[in-house]
Amino acid sequence: MIDVDGEAGGGQLLRTALTYAMLTETSVRVENVRGNRPDPGLKPQHRAAVRVAAAVSDADVDGEELGSETVEFDPRGLSGGHYEVDVGTAGSTTLLFDTLLPVATALDAPLSLTARGGTDVKWAPTMPYYRRVKLPLLRRFGLQAAVDAERPGFYPVGGGKATLRLAPSTLDPIRLAERGDEQGIRVYSTAADSLANADVADRQATRAVERLDAMGHEVLERSVTYAAADCPGSVLCLRADYDSTTTGFDALGEKGMPSEDVADEAVDAFVAFAGGDAAVDTHMADQLLVFLALAGGELRVPSLTDHVETSLELLAQFGFELTVSDDDSPTIASGI
């Protein structure tokens, strides 16, 4: 059994440990779950991940109750089929999907997961980023995965609904060391229908397009959507396509935050990235490491963030050794 100290990694370290345990069919004990948080232990969104992973891998689990600070997880083998989970809060559905996404490489039959909770919330990939940026990039390397987004869910109520669909997949090496020339930008703006009278989604998109146009970036698509939701909220996502990669930059609307400021936050993040030479954006960097470990290749990242370093350390515990260059924009490589 592999012992993991979950104190510094938050809920993401627990979810990632579950993923690696399923992929390697290795028992894992995660102690001090979210130990450095004011309210340590399992919250509803973390318990949902444990329960889904256990169902998919026929695992024996100890410590899945709310508040538990130690989780033991012993998987026995992956199974396809359809699964459902309701987080019960605005906990992130995309982070829940991330727990299962890499297991497509080890499946013998299709798998789907319908999740209810928060689709567009802080500290997690937004649903537009997940569907428009992350999954298209991974599909280029052979991952067969898609998400059907039925209903958005914003903080604090949640109430969103989406379904992840996976098919057995064989990955090509992840070759993302260079970005190439910029091909254009796509703008995706979504708001709850209760914000339609204030033109929130339109204003977000208009501001982003105006700024991008002024800087000489070609906008290939402008998508504005209003959708029924259990509480007000909005999200803006920019997708930047290059010859060799796809990157994304998003921002969430908050009460009292002008729509134009939401757009500025996403555009500013894109501008900062465009001034460097990394092949993936900051958020994508640590999310691709497990696929790099499984398939081999190389990945040029903006920097070695705490998330990246924690992910590298956890991969090493499960027997995956990746090398890191000493550059301003480091290259992470796997020789598999």
Catalytic machinery residues: 307
List, in order, residues 6 or more apart from 240 with CB less than 8 Å away. 182, 184, 185, 246, 247, 248, 249, 270, 273, 274
Q: How far is Cα 218 from Cα 213, in angstroms, rounded to an integer?
A: 7
- The greatest distance separating any two alpha carbons of the chain, rounded to the nearest whole angstrom, comes to 57
Dihedral of CA atoms 257, 262, 265, 268 in degrees, nearest 10, equals -130
Concatenated DSSP letters for 112-139?
EEEEEEBSB-TTS--HHHIIIIIHHHHH
Dihedral of CA atoms 284, 289, 291, 296 in degrees, nearest 10, equals 120
Reference 157, options 101, 61, 229, 209; nearest CA is 229
Relative to beta strand 182-192, strand 219-227 is parallel
Q: How far is Cα 127 from Cα 273, in angstroms, rounded to an integer?
A: 21
